[in-house]
Amino acid sequence: MDVTMSLTVNGEKKTITTDPSRRLLDVLREDLQLTGTKYGCGQSQCGACTVLINGRAVHSCVTPVGSVNNTEVITVEGLARGDVLHPVQAAFLAEGAIQCGYCTPGMIMRAVALLDSDPNPSDSTIKAWMNANICRCNGYTKILNAVRRAARQNLEVTVP
């Protein structure tokens, strides 16, 4: 039975009428054509589908769209401000932390959620937090360096 939901996606108000048990991942990709969010496993195991819901990192592949009514969803497409990349996106580019890039949106969203709640995380916090996400090209070292770089920039901004 379809229901009508309203949510904010990347700053835009959206009204969606659909089966509430559909995955948020599919609604983003199929209904809103926001394909930056990836399917990796469908079981909350790899993090490729990570989006922010009210600022928290959530696996959209196990999130029924009915549960996000009246929330604010941010996907990788919603991070940059015009031509200006989000600092985490810029850090991934600067560190060359991309191989095939398929895990990259999920990695970036996960890192953004971390740095929004803890601007200066310890190295062990970064590792433990990012461990939810899988990269098969195994660019883990450069991804860690990218998150460290973004965190370092936070430090430079906050400490005069």
Partner 1 sequence: MTRESLIDDVFELEQDETQALWTHEFDLTRRTFLQVLGAGLLITVTQDMTQAQSGRTMPVIARLHLNTDGTVTVLTGKVEEGQGSRAELSQAAAEELRVSVGQVRLIMADTDLVPDDGITAGSRTTPYNVPPVRQAAATARELLTNLAARQWQVNAETLEVLNGKITHTATGKTLTYGDLAALDTTSEVFKGSIRSDVTLTPLGQWKTMGTSVPRPNSRDLVTGAHHYPSDQIRPGMLYGKVLRPPSYGATLEAIDLGAAQAMKDVFVLHEGQFVGFAAPTTFLATRALEAAAQTAQWKTVPQVSSRDLFSHLKKNKQTGGRSRPRTTGDVDKALSEASQVLNETYEVAYVQHTPMEPRAATAEWTDGKLTVWTGVDSPQRVQGDLAREFGVSNDKVRLIVPDMGGGFGGKHSGEAAEEAARLSKACARPVAVHWTREEEFTWAYFRPAAVIECRAGLDDTGSLTAWDFTSINPGSSGIDPPYGIANMSILSAGTDSPLRQGAYRCLAATANNFARESFIDELSVAAKADPLAFRLAHLNNPRIRTVLEAAARHFDWGNRRKKITRELGVGLACGTEKNSVVAACVEILIDRKTGQIRVVEVCEAFECGPIVNPDNLTSQIQGCICMGLGPALREAMVFEDGRILSNSFYTYQVPRFADIPKLDIHLVENRDIPSAGGGETPIIAIAPAIGNAVFAATGIRLRSMPLQSDKLKA
Where do contacts with partner 1 occur on this chain (CB under 8 A)?
18-19, 21-23, 26, 29-31, 33-43, 45-46, 48, 75-77, 79-80, 85, 89, 92-93, 96, 98-105, 108, 127-128, 130-131, 133-144
| Cα distance between residue 1 and residue 86, in whole Å | 39
Shortest distance, position 141 Cβ to partner 1, whole Å = 5
**For residues 114 and 159, which CB has a smaller minimum distance to partner 1 in the complex?**
114
- The residue among 117 and 131 lying less far from partner 1, judged by its C-beta, is 131
Q: What is the DSSP string of 20-82?
A: TTSBHHHIIIIIS--TTS--S-SSSSS-TTEEEETTEEEEGGG-BGGGGTT-EEE-GGGSSBT
Q: Least separation, in Å, of the C-beta of 102 and partner 1?
A: 3
Residue 159 C-beta: closest distance to partner 1, Å: 26
CB of 151 to partner 1, least distance (A): 15
Which residue lies nearer to partner 1 by CB, 128 or 158?
A: 128
**Closer residue to partner 1 (CB): 137 or 160:** 137
For residue 145, give the DSSP letter: H
For residue 78, which phi and psi values (nearest 5 degrees)?
-100, 10
Alpha helices in 9-139 (DSSP H): 24-26, 87-94, 104-117, 123-130
